A and B are shown apart, each in its own frame.
Chain A
Amino acid sequence: MDQRVHPMAPYDTTPQVDFHSQRRRIQSIALWGVALLTLTLVVLIVLDILLSVIVKGVPGLNLAIFATPTSGIAGGLQNAILGTLVLIALSMVFSMPLGILGGIFVACFAPARLASAVRFISEVLAGIPSIVIGYFGYAVMVLQWGMGFSALAGAISLAMITLPYIVRTTDASFTQVPGAYWEGAIALGMTPLMAVRTVVTKLAAPGVMTGVLLAISIALGETAPLIYTAGWSNFDPSLHLVKNPIAYLTYVVWTYLNEPFHSAHQLAYTAALLLVVIVMILHILVRLLQRGGVKHS
């Protein structure tokens, strides 16, 4: 280390903490120790979950799982896999346009007071327990609106879970775009809408996409709102979006583990494995998106 002190230095720059160095070193080691310990704990827990899902789920993995629907407590998972995809896709039809447009409105166009009101409402919605949303879906959509247990009722319930999430990430992505880009566009005579649509959106898009992918992975893992709204079906999903119950993967995990049969347990673990794999793929996509960013930025 360079020990020289500049001749013009206004005060003595030699280290003043020598006296405490022993104590400092011990403190430092202790903190590092605690940090490492907690990190190890987290990693171990995740590994434990992953390993037990893999160990118990992989034996049940075969082509028949994808090719046949469940029958009672045996069979494959085709109906549940397709049902999950239908539910997610349908819920995104509702929550993506609403959430993204809402987020853009809050970030770019809403007057400050309205924006903070919308943000507050969105946070409240995000804080509602999913089982309550499920029950609301049951009372209002399934019973009152006469949808019955159905793909539509399930998808709308899922959309209510993911909507505030998409609003928040979109809002954050658009707010983070430096004002200079917006100003540059406005100064050329673009309308605020033009500026947001072309220049600002380009910079916010990766963040928005990340939010949507994470919202999808949240929706994938939801069970509570679907129990009351989607029901369960041993058949593949059809084009009938109301009055026809629909199967989904988390139901298999939740219900079949309680059955006293090995074939049911096997299906539950395989369903869990599929969910974990899909969520992992989504998170890898998110990472790639974040690393890639947009072209020309």
Chain B
Amino acid sequence: MTSDMVAVDQDLVELTPAELKELEAVLTGGRIDVVTAEATKSSVIQVKGLSAYFGHKQVLNNLNLDIKEREITALIGPSGCGKTTFLRTLNRMSHSVPGFRHEGEVSVMGQDIASVKDVESFRRKVGMLFQRPNPFPMSILDNLTLALRLFGVSKKERLEIAKAKLDEVGLYEDLKDRLHHSPFALSGGQQQRLCLARALAVEPRILLLDEPASALDPKSTRMLEDLFMRLAEHMTIVIVTHNLAQARRIAKRTAFMEAGEIVEFESTHALFTKPNDPRTRVYVEEQIG
């Protein structure tokens, strides 16, 4: 742990989200180098010697990292470095691409992804949000309840979950009278929050975010980031981002990837202020300017 990180003792875990937020504001202007109950957190994703290939082309080379539960981990790096492939390997989305295969061990919530039998149930536990908002071509309410309906959740329960999740992403007040309307009339930011609510509706424990704010304006981006930080209090989030400032704002740890390898995996603060590897330094400095 670096000395300029703000260490907070374990009592913090007992704080309500509102109090936590207040504290965050008091602390370094949104920076969350707040270390909460570090020792009690266990790794929810363990990656050992992961290599991946599309056909003969190797896209990931011997990745090793542990992702801790209930915090945000960011993956940064130049385009084509394999961060998205890595992210999509975690919920086995990569495996639906013909020709994809992986070597090494990826354990998600204690289960090796290679041995997952019921991929669908597994994906319900590992939700995903994409680069562009992709609401389904159906009403706002149906967007939230479709998957639940297919999984056999009762109508009453579905409606309750839909409302709760819309509320959780801060859309309920705006949309409560428009639940049967098309989601395509919403702004990009609202659409992305709707997609987030949709992902949350099936109660995932891990959320994978693939550049979730790259198509959004700064205000919507901040709104989403706040949401992610609140969600990270009870779930694990892995985010791929090209926006280094975003990684700094929300991620507890950051991995810098280049050419299919993890160059450096550190606490976000350390990675950005004292990068160990010259490649990281060059990338971080060039990007920030």
Contacts and interface: CB of A to CB of B under 8 A. Distances in A.
A183 B146 CA distance: 15
B132 A188 contact: no
Interface stretch (A33-41, A42-50, A158-166, A191-199): A191-199
A112 B91 CA distance: 23
A296 B139 contact: yes
B96 A188 contact: no
A187 interface: yes
A189 B123 contact: yes
Interface residues of B, number: 29
Contacts of A186: 93, 96, 123
Q: Which interface residue of A178, A190, A192, A203 has the most chain B CB atoms within 10 A? A: A190
Interface stretch (B23-31, B62-70, B195-203): B195-203
Given A188-B199, A189-B147, A181 B128 contact: no
Interface string A274-297: 000000000000000000001111
A202 B138 contact: yes
Contacts of A198: 136, 146, 150
A198 to B, nearest CB: 6
A296 B96 contact: no
A248 to B, nearest CB: 39
Contact of A199 (B98, B136, B139): B136
B214 interface: no
Contact of B136 (A112, A184, A191, A192): A184
Contacts of A185: 136, 146-147
Given A183-B130, A183-B134, A199-B136, A189 B183 contact: no
B147 A188 contact: yes
A180 interface: yes
Interface string B111-144: 0000000001111100110101010111100000
Main secondary structure, interface of A, reads: helix
Q: Interface range on chain A: under 10, 10 to 19, 20 to 34, or 35 or more?
A: 20 to 34
Contacts of B123: 186-189
A178 B183 CA distance: 17
Contacts of A184: 130, 134, 136, 195, 198
Contacts of A199: 136-138, 146
Given A189-B123, A190-B150, 6 more contacts: A180-B130, A294-B137, A295-B137, A296-B137, A296-B138, A297-B184
B194 to A, nearest CB: 11
Given A188-B147, A190-B120, A180 B132 contact: yes
A245 to B, nearest CB: 47
A187 B150 contact: no
B53 to A, nearest CB: 18
B182 interface: yes
A130 to B, nearest CB: 37
Given A112-B98, A181-B136, A199-B146, A296 B202 contact: no
